[in-house]
A and B are shown apart, each in its own frame.
Chain A
């Protein structure tokens, strides 16, 4: 099974900061990596698919990069509505779907 490890588990930042979250796969997953944002009491929302593609309607301050085993989600200038928990998810394995453990982005 593919394991997905996110770092850090939590992060404190301020409005306007540039923030980067990392996701590492236990084996190469090419570019088959998705990122989701989840706010308290809400379902996750797809932000980035296939490592770098921005989902329709998602602000351009969000971007994704990486391939193989190492991936990053970057928020170029944090807005108040961006404080949430972020999850990565591999879509490489045909028989399973694995999420990272999550990164909670909190206001400093």
Chain B
């Protein structure tokens, strides 16, 4: 059974950079039909996609965050990471990592079928 687990600081100061890691167990990051994603949810609000990547190097970012986001992967350790720079109070959220399963029948179509439990990140001034 695939499991995802986020790890990182629960508190980040304003203007600093957030670094989170997602550890994968029970599966491999190197599968052709899997992307791996970061999604966040401000307290009491809806879901916002941050970005997705494929181990081959294809990476897509939310245009509203693109200038501040980097997603990277360590295939040997079966983990991937998120860096979000210039944090503000608006970035306070629960951050989830998720597996993005792409369909063989339609390569761009996908769903998020496995999620980590999420980690709350609070930005302090």
Is B47 an interface position by the 8 A CB rule? yes
Residues of A participating in the B interface, judged by any CB pair closer than 8 Å: 1, 32, 34, 36, 42-46, 49-50, 55, 87, 89, 91-102
Interface of B is mostly: strand
The answer to whether B63 touches A1, judged by C-beta atoms less than 8 angstroms apart, is: yes
Asked, given contacts A97-B52, A99-B48, A99-B49, whether A44 binds B115 with beta carbons under 8 Å apart, the answer is yes
Quick check: B46 and A99 within 8 Å, CB to CB?
yes
* Chain A interface, DSSP helix/strand/loop, else mixed: loop
Size range of the chain B interface in the assembly:
20 to 34
List 11 A-B residue pairs with CB atoms under 8 Å apart, sorted by A's residue number: A43-B96, A44-B47, A44-B96, A46-B111, A46-B112, A46-B113, A89-B111, A91-B108, A93-B108, A95-B60, A96-B63
B4 (CB) vs chain A CBs: closest residue:
A43
Contact with A along B95-117 (1 / 0, CB 8 A): 01010100100101111110111
CB–CB B62/A96 < 8 A: yes
Q: Are B109 and A89 in contact (CB under 8 A)?
A: no
Min CB distance B94 to A, Å, is: 9
Residue of B with least CB distance to A102: B46
Whole-angstrom CA separation of A19 from B69 in the bound complex? 39
Residues of the B chain whose Cβ atoms lie less than 8 Å from the Cβ of A44: 47, 96, 112, 115
Say whether B60 contacts A96, CB under 8 Å.
Answer: yes
Query: Are A43's CB and B118's CB within 8 A?
Result: yes
**Given A87-B47, A99-B46, also A49-B111 (CB < 8 A):** yes
